[in-house]
Amino acid sequence: MVELTVVIPTFNEEKQIKKTMQGVYAYIKKLRLNPEILVIDDSTDKTYSILKRLMKRYNNLKVEHRTYQRGVGSAIRLGIEKAKGSYIIVYMADAPNDAKYFPAILKKLREGYDIVQTSRFFTESRIIGYPFKKRICNWLCNNFIKVLFFEFKLRDFSSLFKGFNKKRVKALGLRANEFDLGLEIVLKAIRKNYRIVELPVDWKEREGGESKLKLSKYARHYFMSVMKIRLTY
């Protein structure tokens, strides 16, 4: 039986994906973990070709390449459906060093928490290269949600880097297709009184490739998603 699946959504990460996977496998070997690694790839560049070569090196690496659908949220939802593990960690391809947090996340899941959030906004977290505009928008968004949902213990609602109990999260009826999936998971979990804990992580601006999250594109969509959950879920 597989205990843990790491789901990694990718889109046009040819400049980063090899370094990311090398980082992930270096950490899980060092930490003596043996998770299923499941990549959901929507790329139109050479990412899939690189991943196919990496599958020959890493026995527990599985890749699902999609040509019919796009969206980081829908990729993660497919990963949840296909995952064999009882627990899932969603891991972003632009952060190869974040695998060092796997043991802490897994420990909390084993303790019975349904959702393990990660946050860049603890006092002890180190943030490097975070754009000022994004920082202000995140502060506004997070504080708006705290008031709207009467949830003042959590600091970082939008993070996609999180762990969860697969069975419990599947029961939430997830629908988001984009970056708002991170919000949907934690906000629906709050409404269902799930056990949620948050862990501090460091954050560093990606070194290769291009960020897929554009504030101008997703701000209104985020707002509508939050309001819909608050009013109808």
Average pLDDT by consecutive 10-residue portion of the chain (233 residues)?
A: 95 94 90 92 97 95 93 97 98 87 96 96 83 85 95 93 98 96 97 97 70 63 92 95
Query: What is the C-alpha to C-alpha distance for residues 215 and 222, in angstroms, rounded to an integer?
Result: 10
Q: What is the pLDDT of residue 11?
A: 95
CB 159 within 8 A of CB 180: no
Q: In the sheet where 36-41 sits, what is the strand order?
A: 61-65, 36-41, 4-10, 87-90, 162-165, 115-119, 196-200
Residue type, 172: L
Which CB contacts under 8 angstroms, 24+ apart, belong to 132-138? 133/215, 134/215, 137/215, 137/219
pLDDT at residue 212, as a whole number: 54
Domains contained in the chain, CATH given: 4-232 (3.90.550.10)
* Per-residue model confidence (pLDDT) at position 70: 86
In this prediction, residue 31 carries a pLDDT of 82
pTM of the model: 0.92
The pLDDT assigned to 111 comes to 98
* Residue (of 187, 160, 167, 184) closest to 89 by Cα position: 160
Cα–Cα distance between 159 and 101 in angstroms, integer?
14
